[in-house]
């Protein structure tokens, strides 16, 4: 679906923000977090059509929804994560649970079920994971057996156990992945079906406002018309088809929670006087705990927007892009939240300040919807193919484009980003020549380097654009300084870590040090501290102490 107009989108965001301000204060969140309690009433209220109708974002207008595009959903997910990642997960579970229908449902199924989800405000859960089938769904154990009457398949009996299902204990409707005779398939299971029962609510490290439970299916009879797509064996393809899109949502969670933690630290740092002045004036503080983190989050934002816009323009799949968006936003967000605790010192370590909870919550982004390690593999696999197919030109061509960007706008870090991409191309090529990808560690590490280098390219391109996205809260000078800081770091890490990676695995590194252009990468570091000073000043200006 294409995204909405910016005005409509921002009105919806304002309404959500106001609702949260009124109905979900931090004291309540803290209490629910402590009690490990899912705020069913709040979720139901947020779904009410006259209050927000939040779930309608996922439902096309023809079925009673508002047809949100990926960009719209990213913005709402980011805001939800700033409010509470547990509540965000509860909403996301409905989005995710609805996805198999959106992707694979027949017209009649969409007509019936999407309309019901929209009009009855159903909470939905997505039931894929099992004890032995997490990222690897091939080991799926839940079975769907034919129920035959008069020689015709009239339904299925579902038997098995699901694990760690968000909204598992509270949903009205479940999309369940089960192994039918024709292969893995999605089924629509209603809560009150006989033989279906949710298990106990898990006691989790974070996102404690979200309900997570296992599901037991004991010979649950499901009519044949509840087989999504009315064709067996399409389940894994349907699950795969939405990864680009669903991972953008989790990426938005990492972004929202990570930036929220940092913004709280930035406001705090202007009031906390130590050593004769506010912490916000001390480079030892800002350039370690704040600036590098915020810069990475803005890089993640640029990449999320780039992927969202491509999905909204009708491109399909984008699994590698979705993986890069989620991996970067989650890992950097997790680090940002950790540093935000450090930035608040003793206060940050107490539950009186939300950063402590954000840190516990955000860790889930590195785990659900594909662990960071699975994503490293996904990213590597996707781009390794491109590297081979293009005979090593993939990143070199991308770097050439960055050179053009740099020629038109030299202040956006595009030169450093191009250095990162060329270093990456050299590292990939050396890995190919020396067959180093036989080491799993090498492949995963390549996934990490690819994420940073590509994000640098996208961030610099966005920062060089004449017009910025509605989401950029800094002026041109500030955002470009951030893009430069990001690109320099990416260039340095790609060259040094890439070189170290090859040296660690190979007999000899040949002339890789020249190929990654260490000298140029080092020379590019000039001006880093001045840019970090500038970024720190802009952050202080934008997130003033309250």
Partner 1 sequence: MNIVVLVKQVPDSTEVKINPETGHLIRAGVPSIINPYDHFALQAALELKAKHDFKVTLVSMGPPQAKSVVQMGMALGADEGILLSDMAFAGSDTWSTSYALAKAIRKIGKVDLILAGMQAIDGDTAQTGPGVAQQLGMPQVTFCEKVEVDGRRVIARKQIDGGYEVLEARPPVLLTMIMTKDYTPRYPSFLAVNASLKKPFHVWGAADVGAEEQYLGLKGSPTQVSKIYPPPQREKAAMFSGSGQESVARILQIMRQEHFIEE
Q: CB of 273: closest distance to partner 1 in angstroms?
A: 14
Q: Is 281 a catalytic residue?
A: no
Q: CB of 62: closest distance to partner 1 in angstroms?
A: 13
In the bound state with partner 1, the residue whose beta carbon lies nearer, of 65 and 184, is 65
In the bound state with partner 1, the residue whose beta carbon lies nearer, of 197 and 469, is 469
In the bound state with partner 1, the residue whose beta carbon lies nearer, of 419 and 482, is 482
In the bound state with partner 1, the residue whose beta carbon lies nearer, of 397 and 475, is 475
Spatial contact of 307 and 322, defined as CB atoms under 8 Å apart: yes
Q: With H, G, I as helix, E, B as strand and everything else as coil, classify residue 382.
A: helix
Residue 41: count of CB within 10 angstroms of its CB: 9
| Catalytic hit among 369, 430, 454, 524 | 369
Closest CA to 336 of 20, 89, 81: 81
Q: CB of 95: closest distance to partner 1 in angstroms?
A: 14
Q: CB of 369: closest distance to partner 1 in angstroms?
A: 24
Residue with tokens 């079906």: 193
Calculate the alpha carbon distances from 283 to 150, 537, 543 in Å.
Answer: 78, 11, 17
Spatial contact of 337 and 257, defined as CB atoms under 8 Å apart: yes
Q: CB of 17: closest distance to partner 1 in angstroms?
A: 9
Closest CA to 220 of 252, 176, 257, 253: 176
Q: CB of 55: closest distance to partner 1 in angstroms?
A: 9
Q: How many CA atoms lie within 13 A of 56 on its CB side?
A: 20
Rounded Cα distance, 117 and 47, in Å:
10
Q: How many CA atoms lie within 13 A of 464 on its CB side?
A: 24
In the bound state with partner 1, the residue whose beta carbon lies nearer, of 52 and 457, is 52
In the bound state with partner 1, the residue whose beta carbon lies nearer, of 8 and 440, is 8
Closest CA to 295 of 16, 9, 539, 50: 539
All residues at 6 or more sequence positions from 442 whose CB lies less than 8 Å from its CB, including other chains: 431, 436, 501, 505
In the bound state with partner 1, the residue whose beta carbon lies nearer, of 302 and 490, is 302
Closest CA to 187 of 95, 105, 243: 105
Q: With H, G, I as helix, E, B as strand and everything else as coil, classify residue 368.
A: coil
List, in sequence order, the alpha helices (H) in 290-413. Answer: 291-312, 319-348, 354-362, 372-389, 394-408
Query: E strands within 79-142?
Result: 124-127
Interacting residues toward partner 1 by CB under 8 A: 4-5, 7-8, 10-12, 14-15, 18-19, 48-54, 56-57, 61, 66-67, 472-475, 478, 541-542, 544
In the bound state with partner 1, the residue whose beta carbon lies nearer, of 64 and 392, is 64
β-bridge mates for residue 95, sequence order: none
Q: How many CA atoms lie within 13 A of 437 on its CB side?
A: 19
Buried residues in 10-31 as b, exposed as e (16+ CB within 10 A):
eebeeebeebbeeebeeeebee
Q: CB of 86: closest distance to partner 1 in angstroms?
A: 21
- Angle at the Cα of 158 from the Cα atoms of 156 and 162, rounded to 5 degrees: 150
In the bound state with partner 1, the residue whose beta carbon lies nearer, of 526 and 544, is 544
Q: CB of 518: closest distance to partner 1 in angstroms?
A: 37
DSSP 205-251: SS-TTS-EEEEEEEEEEEEGGGBGGG-TT-HHHHHHHTHHHHHHHHH
In the bound state with partner 1, the residue whose beta carbon lies nearer, of 9 and 363, is 9
Q: Tokens in use for 347?
A: 């206060």
Q: CB of 456: closest distance to partner 1 in angstroms?
A: 23
Backbone phi, then psi, for 238, in 5-degree steps? -65, -35
- Angle at the Cα of 146 from the Cα atoms of 142 and 149, rounded to 5 degrees: 155
Calculate the alpha carbon distances from 168 to 80, 98, 126, 171, 201 in Å.
Answer: 20, 14, 8, 6, 8
Q: CB of 338: closest distance to partner 1 in angstroms?
A: 26
- Angle at the Cα of 449 from the Cα atoms of 447 and 450, rounded to 5 degrees: 65
Residue with tokens 């503080």: 285
Active site residues: 369
């Amino acid at each position: 679906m294409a995204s909405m107009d910016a005005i409509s989108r921002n009105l919806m965001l304002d309404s959500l923000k106001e609702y949260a301000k009124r109905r979900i204060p931090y004291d309540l969140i803290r209490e629910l977090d402590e009690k490990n309690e899912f705020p069913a009433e709040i979720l139901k209220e947020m779904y009410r059509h006259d209050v927000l109708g939040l779930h309608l974002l996922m439902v096309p207008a023809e079925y009673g929804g508002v047809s949100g595009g990926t960009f719209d959903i990213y913005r709402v997910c980011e805001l939800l994560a700033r409010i509470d990642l547990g509540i965000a997960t509860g909403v996301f579970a409905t989005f995710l649970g609805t996805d198999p229908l959106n992707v694979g449902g027949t017209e009649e199924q969409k007509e019936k079920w999407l309309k019901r989800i929209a009009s009855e405000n159903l909470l939905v859960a997505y039931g894929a994971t099992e004890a032995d089938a997490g990222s690897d769904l091939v080991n799926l154990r839940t079975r769907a057996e034919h129920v035959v009457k008069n020689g015709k398949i009239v339904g299925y009996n579902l038997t098995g156990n699901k694990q760690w299902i968000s909204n598992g204990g509270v949903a009205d409707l479940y999309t369940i992945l089960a192994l039918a005779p024709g292969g893995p398939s999605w089924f629509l299971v209603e809560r009150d079906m006989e033989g279906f029962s949710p298990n106990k609510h898990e006691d989790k490290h974070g996102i404690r406002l979200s309900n997570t439970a296992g599901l037991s299916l004991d010979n649950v009879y499901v009519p044949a018309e509840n087989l999504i797509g009315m064709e067996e064996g399409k389940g894994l393809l349907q699950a795969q088809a939405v990864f680009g899109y669903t991972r953008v949502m989790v990426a938005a969670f990492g972004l929202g929670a990570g930036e929220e933690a940092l913004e709280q630290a930035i406001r705090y740092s202007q009031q906390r006087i130590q050593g004769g002045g506010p912490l916000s004036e001390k480079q030892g503080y800002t350039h370690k705990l704040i600036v590098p983190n915020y810069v990475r989050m803005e890089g993640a934002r640029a990449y999320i927007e780039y992927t969202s816009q491509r999905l909204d323009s009708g491109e399909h799949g984008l699994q590698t892009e979705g993986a890069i968006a989620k991996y970067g936003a989650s890992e950097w967000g997790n680090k940002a939240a950790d540093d935000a605790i450090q930035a608040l010192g003793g206060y940050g370590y107490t539950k009186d300040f939300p950063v402590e909870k954000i840190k516990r919550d955000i860790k889930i982004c590195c785990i659900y919807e594909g662990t960071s390690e699975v994503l490293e593999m996904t990213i590597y696999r996707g781009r390794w193919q491109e590297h081979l197919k293009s005979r090593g030109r993939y990143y070199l061509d991308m770097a050439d484009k960055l050179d053009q960007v740099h020629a038109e706008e030299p202040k956006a870090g595009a030169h450093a980003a191009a250095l990162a991409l060329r270093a990456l191309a050299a590292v990939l090529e050396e890995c190919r020549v020396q067959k180093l990808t036989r080491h799993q560690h090498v492949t995963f590490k390549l996934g990490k380097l690819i994420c940073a280098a590509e994000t640098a390219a996208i961030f610099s391109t966005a920062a060089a654009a004449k017009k910025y996205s509605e989401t950029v809260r800094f002026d041109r000078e500030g955002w470009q300084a951030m893009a430069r800081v990001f690109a320099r770091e990416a260039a340095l890490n790609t060259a040094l870590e890439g070189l170290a990676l090859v040296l660690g695995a190979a007999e000899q590194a040949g002339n890789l040090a020249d190929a990654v252009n260490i000298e140029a990468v080092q020379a590019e570091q000039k001006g880093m501290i001045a840019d970090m000073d500038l970024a720190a000043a802009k952050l202080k200006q934008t997130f003033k102490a309250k």
